[in-house]
Structure 1
Amino acid sequence: MDQFLLVLVSGIASGAIYGLMGLGLVIVYRATDVVNFALASLATLGLYAAITFHDNGAAVLVGVLGAVLVTVVAGLLVREVVIRPLGQGRLFAALVVTMGVALIAESVIGSIWGTQPKSFPSIVDGTVRAGGVAIPAQSLLTIAVAGVAMGLVAFLFGRTTTGSAMRAVAESADTAQVVGISAQRIARLAWALGLGLGALAACLYAPKVGLAPAVLSAPLFRAFAGIFLGGLNSMYGAVVGGLAVGVLENLGASYVSASFRDTFVFTFTVLVLLIRPQGLFGTRTFQRV
């Protein structure tokens, strides 16, 4: 039972990271119709900036804030320079461009900081005793921070004027423009929010695995698995899907085989999509042909 509790907490912590990253991807997608494959690489750029701040004497929390800021600024620059000129409705072109940006960002990181793995400091150290098991404090902090961030996003979209405007643009940018909502301003806000959540997820993930130019590739694809499992157009689904992926992969690794953890997760995701193609919480769309 103690082992199961440790596996469950670890799975929820991993799932919280995937959920945060998936939530950032869905927010950007709903507001701008862009599947931002560059989110992970831009967040990695933020991580390297954070470790640079830390190596120069800054506190870990200052480094985390620096990582979020660098990621958001870099992401907004990418949007204005290479995504916005594509125009609306260029989903495939934007997808390819963000993949190219991801490769460029990884190359820049390798050129500046090198490709050798580095350690990333934990925000908190130590363990918390729960019965007969010692749970890492970092895992509990990850769950708490992710929960607060998700709650704030829910409050933003459910209770504020800005959130209402973002939901309006997600439903129809043209209609929102007619009633006086600036789609471009909302798009910038969505990118900033999505990239900030991605950077926060990266800062919670890096202490566990260390730092390398492609360190976020695995959590990015697991976040996508969570998105498709929960529903591509559902923010709630991205969170639930990410949590499900985290728990499933840890259960699979602990009780089946560590080498089959991804196989276990993606097999389950494919089975769900075969039954419900729009995901657990997504909505089915129809097109007149």
Structure 2
Amino acid sequence: MKRGEEMHDLLSVIFSGLVSGSLYALLGLSIVIIFRATDVVNFAIGDIATIGVYVAMTVISLGVPVVAALPVTFLVAGMIGVGVERFMIRPLGPGNMFSALIITMGFGLVLQAIIGTIWGYNPRPFPPIIDGNATVFGVAITYQKLLATGLAVVAMLLISALFNWTRIGLAMRASAEDHFAARMIGIKSTRVASLAWFLGCGLAGITAFIMAAETSVGVALMAMVLFRAFAGVFLGGLTNMIGAAAGGMMIGILDNVAGSYVSASFRDTMVFAVIVVILFIRPSGILGAKGGARV
């Protein structure tokens, strides 16, 4: 009986980790979409997503239903992403990855200042998408968390379908693999880059919206989520979309297992100790490309 209870508890912990990990996976996928298309690690993605949520909150205050405000977040974050790519990243030209990284970090700080000036720095309550609780594996979990997991999974499936079964997706994959060859066959890399930034930042906006609905909205809304999403990306592989999603899920599970069976105070330490060991064995990540580099 005791063994059965321990197994039940472990399943509960793993399930809770998968629920949290689905958001890390979605945000990690957003990061990889942008990186694969433009070779830019967008450190402003969390702040871009956050400002989309603040705009959605303003729309909700005007009487728009919470669910209807979700597309607003996606569009606002996506359009800001397009603007960043067009006016900040594209003028740098190819091969300026470090400069682009610094620009995105600086732009993130600018967005934080804009948020603080317009909406203030103190966290604000955000209405839930759905109320109520369910019991899964003996664990009480809100319908909102289940909905969040469902939205994240659906978004990842749609992105997978886009990249594998549509002409636009195939063009993005071709451009990601070889920019020069893609241009030679008529693919416009500038359009691919704009679309990648729109999708990546828009998906990050969905992640931020879900996070705000679970907690509250503030300037630092995406700080810890982004931290874990990047960990998942590097664990799964920065060049592999499936790896980014799988890495996010693994981070969620590791985080929960460490917090439940080791210590809540050392959960981050345990999680990143495991990541360091894995990356020491396989630097490119579990599903990342071994050897070679893109030029």
* TM-score, length-scaled by structure 1: 0.96
Q: Does 1:215 align with 2:221?
A: yes
The Cα shift of 1:133 comes to 3.2
The range that moved more, 163-172 or 247-256, is 247-256
Are the equivalent residues in 2 in contact too, given 1:17–1:201 (CA < 8 A)? yes
- Any idea what SS the aligned residue of 1:125 has? coil
- Per the TM alignment, residue 134 of structure 1 is displaced from its structure 2 partner at its CA by 2.1
Where in structure 2 are the equivalents of 1:234-245 lying within 5 Å?
Answer: 234-245=240-251
* Aligned counterpart for 1:153 among listed residues 148, 156, 159: 159
Alignment root-mean-square deviation, CA: 1.5
2:177 pairs with 159, 171, 186, which one?
Answer: 171
**Which segments of 5 or more consecutive residues in structure 1 lack a partner in the other structure?**
none
Q: 2:265 aligns with which of 236, 242, 259?
A: 259
1:210-269 deviations in whole A, cap 9, x for unaligned?
A: 111111011111111000100110000000000000111112112222121211111111
Q: Secondary structure at the match of 1:129?
A: strand
CA distance in 1, matches of 2:235, 2:177: 21
Please say if residues 9 and 139 of structure 1, whose CA atoms lie closer than 8 Å, have aligned partners that are also in contact.
Answer: no
How many residues matched? 288
Q: Percent identity?
A: 47
Q: Distance in 1 between matches of 2:130 and 2:15?
A: 16
Range with greater deviation from structure 2 (268-277 or 58-67): 58-67
- Aligned partner of 1:56 in structure 2 is 62
Q: Which of these residues, 106, 110, 124, is aligned with residue 130 of structure 2? A: 124
Q: In structure 2, what residue type is equivalent to 1:239? A: A
Cα distance in 2 for partners of 1:188, 1:175 equals: 19
8 Å Cα contact 1:10/1:139 also seen in 2: no
Structure 2 runs not aligned, ≥5 long: none
TM-superposition CA deviations, 1:130-149 (whole Å, max 9, x none): 36432211111111111111
User: CA offset at residue 6 of structure 1?
Assistant: 4.0
Q: Kindly tell me: are residues 280 and 131 of structure 1, through their superposed partners in 2, closer, same or farther at Cα, counting changes over 3 Å?
A: closer
Distance apart, 1:3 and its partner CA: 4.6
Q: Once the 2 structures are TM-superposed, how far is the Cα of residue 166 of structure 1 from its aligned partner?
A: 0.5
Q: 1:135 to 1:111 in 2, by over 3 A?
A: same
8 Å CA contact 1:222–1:242 kept in 2: the answer is yes
The Cα of 1:115 is off from its aligned counterpart by: 0.6
